[in-house]
Chains A and B, each alone.
Chain A
Amino acid sequence: MNFKFTSIASAMTGLLLATTALAQTELTVYTAVEAEDLERYAAKFNEVNPDITINWVRDSTGVVTAKLLAERDNPQADVVWGLAATSLLLLKSEGMLEPYAPAGVDKLDSKFVDKDTPPAWVGMDAWVASVCYNTIEGEKLGLKAPTSWKDLTDPMYEGHVIMPNPNSSGTGFLDVSSWLQMFGEEDGWNYMDALHTNIARYTHSGSAPCKLAASGEIPIGISFAFRGAKSKAEGAPIDIIVPTEGVGWDMEATAIVAGTDSLEAAQKLVDFSVTKEAMEMYNVGYAVVAMPGVAQPVEYFPEGLLDAMIDNDFEFAANNRARILEEWQSRYDGKSDAK
């Protein structure tokens, strides 16, 4: 009896000790990375840092951004891993990010790192605008494949182009912001005026235009390269076109939320997020990653995409976002029902 009690007691003590020894740091990580990738990312991270547990909170870019902004005075997240850089800039301008230069940040392409020292965020990978062109429908309608953004304003394409609404889609916004940056403010709006006459409609989501092009619903969809490659791999009769003027892009990036209780663990996560292993991990879905020379070509990705990426001014995009969207809405959203 007595023996039994002691053995239980000692077992309990052992258990207690064991839990203390294995004390896990828990990190609440907000992300917009595809759900199917999260497990893979966490597993890779835990190979290096087994003592840190990641609790994911995942949603679409817009929702995660809104959530973070709503929690401004009482942040729940420790780290943001995999959110659009334009969104992180919004958070930065609210003073919500803890600047930190992770070990090995100098190995990244400087395009992918915040300009401040220490940087408020570091990039992971990029998603790049592209045009999906359905060859079968194009031929049926007697169209010529476009090669540049300017081509798309040709009257021949009237009603045959579809693009995402920048007010609801991040991809739509990066298109608009890239046109304004490439063509200049005035010519940019002139370009969109001309393009608007050819647009069949504006979709809510950024991947829809390419999927609609893939299904032949509309021959030309302004979307992003990754989506196009995926549709092509599924057997859709599409070409992915990289317009010659250059293409807009945004990146997924990582940042520490200011005021986190587990700063050390958060820094470890950001350190990991810029390692070569992490970059190879991102490369599975993304053709362009932040560390030069790592990326392996992804199947069906168009060539010359990296060179076509414009020198994106994220600050311009973030600080003028509200103004651009308002202007866009008054020009094209109100007018569109007249059709």
Chain B
Amino acid sequence: MTDTSPTQMPAGPVIKGKLSRDDVLMRGGMIVIALYLIVTLVMPLYVMFSKSLSTYTFQLSQYEFQVSDEDGTFDGTILNAADLNAQVQAYEPSDLNAGSDGRLAVTPLFPEFSFRSPVRYQLRNTVADGRFLVGSTLTEGTEWVELDSNTFRRVQLRPVQARGIDNFVNYFSTPALSNSIKNSLMIAVFSTIVTVALAFGFAYALNRTCMRFKGAFRLIAMMPILVPSLLPGIALVYLFGNQGMLKELLFGASIYGPIGIVVGSVFFTFPHAFLIISTALAISDARLYEAATTLRASPWRTFWTVTIPGARYGLISAAFVVFNLVITDFGLPKVIGGQFNVLAVDIYKQVIGQQNFEMGAVVSVVLVVPAIFAFAIDRLVQSKQVASLSARSVPYQPSPNKNVDRAFFGYCTLIAVFIVGILAVCQFAALIKFWPYDLSLSLKNYQFNKMDGGGWTAYYNSIKLGLLTAVIGTAVVFFGAYLVEKSGGFKTGRAIFQMFAMLPMAIPGMVLGLAYIFFFNNPDNPLNGIYGTMAILVICTVTHFYTVSHLTAVTALKQMDGEFESVSASLKQPTMKLFTRVTVPVCMPSILDISIYLFVNAMTTVSAVVFLYSPTTALASIAVLNMDDAGDIAPAAAMGMMIFYTNAGARIIHMILSRGVLKRTQAWRAR
């Protein structure tokens, strides 16, 4: 009799689901979008990292000399530069590390050298690709070159390319550079504390009191999102600069430096912190407060034991988001930082000022570390967040309390005055003819074509970039999110895709921009053609703001039941039909949100595109930066306010569109 117990049965065939045409299509689509992220994100970052390890050193052993006697005859003794240096100790090993434009004088190797002596010199490279200069003339090849003393002192050796961590060693041993780490961290921590505290109070007032004009306050709190981060810097110059309107308030301290950066950072990060904390405070369980009252806890104790713990995830998340925004921001410290060096500005200085791309790459790697760290903690905290609101919860309803409401109204008014004041100062400055000597009003500062920076073309370019980014970006992001969320199987592939989609959030804009230079400006890259065009700006901006858009799309898609896919499959309908006929219309509000998010950010971003724009694709936000840089502060303010009005207009259009779309596509939500 045969044994039929399960352990003895031969293994049956592995049952593998047959890939339908739809599955192939969806996986194909996912691979295409994953490839997009690899080419536009992973590869550039890799190239940048390898650039940071590319060093230049003087290879002394590759040069040989002969020295004649007083009559100019050579006796044939050949001296190697490395041996000479070993004898006379003219250069320390650290002197031999250089940048790509390094030069090393040779005369210190000859202690008896005098440019007046009749002694003659010969020198040559020992390898074919060795290089040295006589004056500014490049000499390559291994031929001997004979020079008199006076010319010999003009000889400079050139470094050769090598690989190693010397750039990093150099960075950390140069206080002028590595001090920026401390500065950046300090600014970021300080701004984070101030912003989160202020935003908490504001969010508390809006969610937990019966204060009046909540709608207006909410609107005002969101305003800073519509302007480039450098605009508050410009306003601060007008307020607290040496000719500032409120200069006395600083009691002699200078606004150019940490004070200015912190105040400006609070302005531009406020809406981000406010939104996150407000969401955390919006819902809470009234039963906890009832319990606290029953236990006779004082309001103060209730606040610390109920309110704060309830909002802790929001607070932590807001803190890391603000930290990340401040430490990676480039525009604000550039405008108001004065001599206070921070990492993001250092990258710009190294690359644009000194053309030291290797050191720029090193600073980028250094900047990525805290940014990734903050991002990782934020994600960790968010994943721990569990529903604190259960089915039995009773929503908390604030009850009117005259004194409390009045106090919070006063507080919110102060914040609102701060936000509106900054914008009003910029608008005022833009209309003044010649601050502070001629206070008559004029539109002179709007003649952008007469300034550096790109003129009105830059403004139209920005709108073009915003629209292209919104349309292309939304399509790519939403489609990608759909594929990753709704396709079955293919687990590893989806997990990798998720990781790629999260990565842009952790990469500072400056780093992304610099990585793009290295990657796309290489003549051997087949994509080299897009360098310097509008296309690279669109790609860069979409990638830069990919994560938040992706998360918005995923959240919207998660709300849709997986049954839709099953039903359409059993009805033998292609997935793409389901996607266009059901998914997109249902998710329309989120799609509109993603596109306005991309549009506004494309209008205001400076950091990534500052390395990538070309004379024909100058942008409004870059024009603000460049005009401020050249000292044309009033036109910079004028352009900044143009960005504000454009974004505000876009928001209004978005609102109207959303209403219309909601009516048409979301009618099913209402009974």
Point out residues on A near B: beta carbons under 8 Å.
35, 57-59, 62-63, 65-66, 69-71, 74, 89-90, 92-95, 115-116, 120, 136, 165, 167-169, 200-205, 207-212, 214-218, 234-237, 315, 318-323, 325, 329-330, 333-334, 336-337, 339
Closest to A208 in B: B631
CA distance in complex: A207, B629 (Å): 9
Q: Given the known A-B contacts A208-B629, A330-B176, A334-B176, are A62 and B137 also in contact in the complex, defined by CB atoms under 8 Å?
A: no
User: Are the CB atoms of A334 and B140 closer together than 8 Å?
Assistant: no
Q: Does B341 contact A (CB under 8 A)?
A: yes
Task: State the CA gap A206–B150 with chains docked (Å).
Answer: 35
CA distance A319 to B521 in the complex (A): 27
- Whole-angstrom distance between the Cβ of B434 and the nearest chain A Cβ: 6
Given contact pairs A69-B355, A93-B138, A319-B154, enumerate 18 new A-B contacts (beta carbons under 8 Å).
Answer: A62-B355, A115-B135, A201-B256, A201-B338, A204-B629, A205-B630, A208-B631, A211-B633, A215-B435, A216-B242, A216-B437, A217-B243, A235-B437, A315-B136, A315-B154, A330-B176, A334-B176, A334-B179
A35 to B457, CA, bound (A): 13
For chain B, which range describes its interface: under 10, 10 to 19, 20 to 34, or 35 or more residues? 35 or more
Residue of A nearest to B244 (CB): A217
A93-B136, A215-B243, A217-B243 given as contacts; is B354 within 8 A of A168 (CB)?
Answer: yes
Partner of B629, one of A62, A205, A210: A205
B353 at the interface (CB under 8 A from A): yes
Across the interface, do A168 and B523 meet the contact criterion of CB distance under 8 Å?
no
Chain A, Cβ-Cβ closest to B354: A167
A202 and chain B: residue at smallest CB distance? B339
Say how far B235's CB is from chain A's closest CB, in angstroms. 14
For residue B103, which residue of chain A has the nearest CB? A319
Give the distance to chain B from A252, nearest Cβ to Cβ, in Å. Answer: 16
Contact of A336 with B339 in the complex, beta carbons under 8 Å: yes
Asked whether, in the complex, the Cβ of A204 is within 8 Å of the Cβ of B154, the reply is no
> A205 with B631: in contact, given A35-B615, A59-B615, A334-B175 (CB under 8 Å)?
yes
Contacts A95-B140, A215-B434, A315-B154 given: A339-B339 contact, CB under 8 Å? yes
Mark the stretch among B12-20, B94-102, B376-384 that contacts chain A.
Answer: B94-102
B contacts, CB < 8 Å to A:
98-103, 133, 135-138, 140, 154, 156, 158, 174-177, 179, 183, 237, 241-243, 254, 256-257, 334, 338-341, 349, 351-355, 357, 434-438, 521, 523, 614-615, 629-633
Asked, given contacts A201-B256, A321-B101, whether A216 binds B243 with beta carbons under 8 Å apart, the answer is: yes
B102/A322 in contact, CB under 8 A: yes
A94 to B132, CA, bound (A): 10
Give B159 Cβ to nearest chain A Cβ, in Å.
10
Report chain A residues within 8 Å CB of B349. Answer: 165, 167-168, 204
Q: Which residues of chain B are within 8 angstroms of A71 by Cβ–Cβ distance?
A: 523
User: Nearest Cβ in chain A — how far from B398, in angstroms?
Assistant: 46
A94 CA / B434 CA spacing, docked (Å): 46
| Residues in chain B near residue A92, CB distance under 8 A | 136-138
Chain B's closest residue to A235 (CB) is B434
Contact B633 A215 (CB under 8 A): yes
Residues of B contacting A70 in the complex (Cβ-Cβ under 8 angstroms): 521
* Pair A89/B136 contact, Cβ less than 8 Å: yes
Residues of A within 8 A of B351 (CB): 66
Q: How far is the CA of A204 from the CA of B230 in the complex (A)?
A: 15
Contact at B630–A95, with CB atoms within 8 Å?
no
B residues in contact with A330, CB < 8 Å: 174-176
Q: Which of A214, A215, A322 contacts B98 (CB 8 A)?
A: A322
A-B contact pairs, 28 of them (CB 8 A): A35-B615, A66-B355, A69-B101, A69-B355, A93-B158, A95-B140, A116-B137, A165-B349, A168-B354, A203-B629, A204-B353, A204-B629, A209-B631, A215-B434, A215-B436, A217-B237, A235-B438, A237-B437, A318-B136, A319-B133, A320-B103, A322-B102, A323-B103, A325-B354, A330-B176, A334-B175, A334-B176, A337-B179
